[in-house]
């Protein structure tokens, strides 16, 4: 066991649930800080203990994005001004990651803007998981440890011992991810082709590939309104799939997502705890990534490889 006496773990307000588990896995106490709110909506953050010369890890998923991102930026700035040795932002869910390019005229590239803000605040390293687009790593000029939820999700699927397994992508954009899963499980690959008339609403969907008599697992990086996943599960069942499960790293689950999943043809939906659930759903299972992040933090401090978390 290494000496982590100069390592301190702090958390943003909405990520204490996972930060506490990460700290416990490292046999550390979660650092103490204060967040003051003012009547006009402004807030101020401060550390209640010294961080001078320490390796400071700040755990904060940026969902909902705006306030959580601002709190993270202020915590980074406060740690730098308090003479922390290194400041690492641990962002299990990286908000604004869907804005990684100009997909239509006169729009911002939100992911690049967030990267610029984090670097301007003085962060020394980013630790995150399953970015919506891998190229976001290149938006930073500092080290980015990009972990994969498949490290904990794939073993769970394997434990189910599903026969005639087929991996499905909910859209063309996720085909690379689904192909990696299909190679890992040595299974068939199915692609769902969807068209949209407006954001978060699927107009039409077609299935490319044979699913009759198959146990299908749909893989994605996140599930938002769950409209795509639920429509895909219904079509897959109609085409003869024995069972349909969905695996996604980030449970964004906005709007009527919980209701949509509960009423869908899905047998099970598996998430990590990068984002906390806000209500119960009988079809949802959550697998924690706290130990994975804790091990990565230890390896970063000890200057050891983290490649064990890149199984796909």
pLDDT band at 1 (very low <50, low <70, confident <90, very high): very low
The alpha carbon torsion through 285, 269, 249, 55 (nearest 10 deg) reads: -10
How far is it, in rounded angstroms, from Cα 118 to Cα 46? Answer: 18
Tokens found for residue 302 = 């000890």
How far is it, in rounded angstroms, from Cα 199 to Cα 176? Answer: 22
pLDDT > 80? residue 96: yes
pLDDT > 60? residue 311: no
Condensed to tens digits (0 to 9), the pLDDT of residues 20-41 reads 999 999 999 999 999 999 999 8
Condensed to tens digits (0 to 9), the pLDDT of residues 42-60 reads 999 999 999 999 999 999 9
How far is it, in rounded angstroms, from Cα 76 to Cα 133? Answer: 24
How far is it, in rounded angstroms, from Cα 155 to Cα 158? Answer: 5
Tokens found for residue 244 = 């349909």
Stretch 66-71: mean pLDDT: 91
Q: Average pLDDT over the chain, rounded to whole?
A: 92
Q: What domains can be seen in the chain, in order of their start residue?
A: 5-146 (3.40.50.2020), 148-286 (3.40.50.2020)
Give percent above pLDDT 70 in the chain.
94
How high is the pLDDT of residue 205? 77
Condensed to tens digits (0 to 9), the pLDDT of residues 105-153 reads 999 999 999 999 999 999 999 999 999 888 999 999 999 999 999 999 9
How high is the pLDDT of residue 186? 95
How high is the pLDDT of residue 206? 84
Count CB atoms within 10 A of the CB of residue 138.
11
Known catalytic residue at 194:
yes
- At 14, give phi and psi (nearest 5°): -90, 5
Q: Of residues 24, 80, 112, 194, which has the active-site annotation?
A: 194
Condensed to tens digits (0 to 9), the pLDDT of residues 175-220 reads 999 999 999 999 999 998 876 556 555 556 788 889 999 999 999 9
Q: What's the whole-model pTM score?
A: 0.92
| β-bridge pairing 243-251 and 86-91 | unpaired
pLDDT band at 5 (very low <50, low <70, confident <90, very high): confident
Stretch 300-305: mean pLDDT: 92
Closest among 255, 213, 210 to 230, alpha carbons compared: 255
Q: What DSSP assignment string belongs to 62-114?
A: -SSHHHHHHHHHHHHHHHHHTT-SEEEEEESS-TTTT--S--STT---HHHHH
Stretch 167-180: mean pLDDT: 91
pLDDT band at 309 (very low <50, low <70, confident <90, very high): low
End-to-end Cα spacing for the chain: 28
Stretch 78-85: mean pLDDT: 98
- At 207, give phi and psi (nearest 5°): -105, 130
Q: Are 118 and 80 in contact (CB under 8 A)?
A: no
């Amino acid at each position: 066991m290494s000496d982590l006496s100069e390592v301190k773990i702090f958390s943003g307000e909405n990520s204490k649930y996972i930060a506490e588990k990460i700290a416990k896995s490292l046999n550390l106490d979660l650092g103490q800080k204060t967040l003051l709110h003012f009547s006009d909506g402004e807030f101020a953050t401060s550390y209640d203990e010294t961080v001078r010369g320490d390796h400071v890890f700040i755990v904060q998923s940026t969902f909902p994005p705006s306030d959580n991102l601002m709190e993270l930026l202020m915590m980074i700035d406060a740690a730098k001004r308090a003479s922390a040795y290194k400041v690492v932002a641990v962002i299990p869910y990286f908000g604004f990651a869907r804005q990684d390019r100009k997909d239509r005229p006169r729009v911002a590239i939100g992911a690049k803007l967030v990267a610029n803000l984090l670097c301007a605040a003085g962060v020394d390293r980013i630790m995150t998981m399953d970015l919506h687009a891998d190229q976001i790593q290149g938006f930073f000029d500092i080290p980015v440890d990009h972990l994969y939820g498949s490290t904990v999700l794939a073993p769970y699927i394997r434990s189910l011992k599903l026969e005639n397994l087929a991996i499905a992508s909910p859209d063309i954009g996720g085909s690379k991810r689904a192909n990696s899963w299909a190679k890992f499980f040595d299974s068939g690959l199915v692609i769902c082709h969807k068209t949209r008339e407006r954001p978060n609403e699927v107009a039409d969907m077609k299935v490319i590939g044979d699913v009759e008599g198959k146990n299908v697992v749909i893989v994605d990086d996140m599930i938002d309104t769950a409209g795509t996943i639920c429509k895909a599960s219904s079509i897959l069942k109609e085409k003869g799939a024995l069972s349909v499960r969905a695996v996604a790293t980030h449970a964004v689950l906005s709007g009527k997502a919980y209701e949509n999943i509960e009423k869908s043809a899905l047998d099970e939906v598996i998430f990590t705890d990068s984002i906390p659930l806000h209500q119960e759903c009988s079809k949802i299972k959550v697998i924690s990534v706290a130990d994975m992040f804790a091990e990565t933090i230890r390896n970063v401090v000890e200057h050891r490889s983290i490649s064990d978390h890149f199984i796909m």
